[in-house]
Structure 1
Amino acid sequence: MAGPSAKCSLIPCLGYKDADAAVDWLCEAFGFEQHAVYRDDAGQVVHAELTFANCMIMIGPDNGGEFGKLVMTLPERAGGRCTQTLYVIVEDVDAHYARASAAGAETVIAPRGDSYGGRSYSVRDPEGHAWSFGSYDPWAASTTS
């Protein structure tokens, strides 16, 4: 159970070869905001927390280490396949898609209507992570069929 100050208790974590570039790109392309960015003595990102509405992702450099023995966070190490994808609820799918496209997101699925409601699209970021954005809100959807 989440504590009283928790906004969302599930926080996806992604690794990037260039975490510095990823922080900037995710904010520009997808509209994330920097919550906290921690850097080493050389000024390189070692951990970043980015927010979108009431949710957060954490990113950092994928440089192996103990955690790297458990997971494969770089799509290029998995033959271009992703080990997880993220779905983010947005109000205006087409405007969000235009923003992501302008920043260089690779379109996987162009904006379209979904059979279960809403519109969505899917893209890859510069390091190959798969992202989906849509107007369908499963929290608001009816649970009856």
Structure 2
Amino acid sequence: MPSTIPTSPSTLMPAMRYRDANAAIEWLCNVFGFERHAVYPGPNNTVGHAELTLGGGMIMLGSGKDDEYGRGFTSPSEIGDKETRNVYIVVPDADAVYARAKAAGGRIVRELQNTDYGSREFSVKDPEGHSWSVGTYDPWKTQG
């Protein structure tokens, strides 16, 4: 998937847990265009750790675990669809990503729109309820 997204590495990497991390990886790659940087399998068809890249950004994810650290995480769908974070993805064509998200069963929570600050963007929940905002606003570029 060709892109004009910047390719400089980021020092911030959101990390999340999924009940079905393998399915989440497929969805994130197919819808948003993430690429697998590394995927380390865990026991019983789980994901011990995965790194997905998009331009110069990276997210990390893995399967939920029933250990002391893992019990500190839950899926938004298990707590009334609530979250304390959202990831914004800069894309050159928000309309194309919007179409893929809808086709892949993403739940659109903020329709595709133009903003006062020059972006075209929308927000979607992935199949496990994690929020993603997608738009053309790039804070690294001079806005004008």
TM-score range normalised by the length of the shorter chain: 0.7 to 0.9
Partner Cα separation in structure 2 for residue 140 and residue 48 of structure 1 = 29
Matched with 1:124 is 125
* Structure 2 counterpart SS, 1:66: coil
The Cα RMSD (Å) is 1.8
In 2, Cα distance between the equivalents of 1:30 and 1:112? 18
Q: Percent identity over the alignment?
A: 47
1:3 maps to which residue? none
Runs of 4+ in 1 over 6 A off after TM superposition: none
Per the alignment, residue 86 of structure 1 pairs with 87
Structure 2 residue runs of 5 or longer lacking an equivalent are 1-7
Contact 1:75 1:83 in 2 (8 A): no
Partner of 2:3: none
**Partner in structure 1 of residue 61 of structure 2:** 59
- Count of matched residue pairs: 137
Quick one: distance in 1 between partners of 2:142 and 2:75? 33
Pairs within 5 Å for 1:1-145: 7-69=9-71, 71-142=72-143
Give TM-score scaled by structure 2 length: 0.87
Q: Is the 8 A contact 1:14 1:73 kept in 2?
A: no
5+ unaligned residues in a row in structure 1: which ranges? 1-5
Deviations 1:65-124 (A, max 9, x none): 23235x434112332111211000000110111111111111111110111221100000
Once residues 129 and 104 of structure 1 are traced to their aligned partners in structure 2, the CA distance between those partners, rounded to angstroms, is 13
Moved more, 112-121 or 133-142: 133-142
Q: Distance in 2 between matches of 1:41 and 1:133?
A: 33
The answer to whether the 8 A contact 2:46-2:63 is kept is no
Query: Normalization by structure 1: what TM-score?
Result: 0.86
Moved more, 121-130 or 55-64: 55-64
**Residues of 2 paired with 1:43 and 1:60: CA distance?**
11
Verify the 8 A CA contact 1:72 1:83 in the aligned structure 2: no
What SS is found at the alignment partner of 2:69? helix
Cα distance between partner residues in 1 of 2:99 and 2:57 = 22
Q: 1:73 to 1:85 in 2, by over 3 A?
A: farther
Q: Distance in 2 between matches of 1:23 and 1:141?
A: 32
